[in-house]
Amino acid sequence: MTGEAAEARLDGEAVEEIVEVFVHLAPYIGVPKALAGLRIAAAALAGEGR
C-alpha cells in the first residue's frame, strides 16, 4: 500500500484525491479497513515530507 500511495503522488495525484479513495472505499470494505489503509497511506505520504 505504501508504494501505491507514493506512486500516486509521483503521478501527480493530490493528497486530497488519495484520501478520497479511502472515503469511497469505506462502504464496500468497511470503515475499519478503510481507516487502516488510510493510516498506511498517510505514513507513506509523511515519509515524502507531506
Residue 45 to residue 1: CA distance in whole angstroms: 11
pLDDT tens, residue by residue, 3-43? 888 888 888 889 999 999 999 999 999 999 999 999 999 99
What is the torsional sign of CA 15, 16, 17, 23?
positive
CB neighbourhood size of 2 (10 A): 13
CA distance 14 to 20: 10
* φ, ψ at 13 (rounded to 5°): -75, 140
Q: What is the pLDDT of residue 1?
A: 66
Q: Give the global pTM.
A: 0.76
Measured CA to CA, the distance from residue 18 to residue 2 in angstroms comes to 12
What residue type is assigned to position 39 of the chain? R
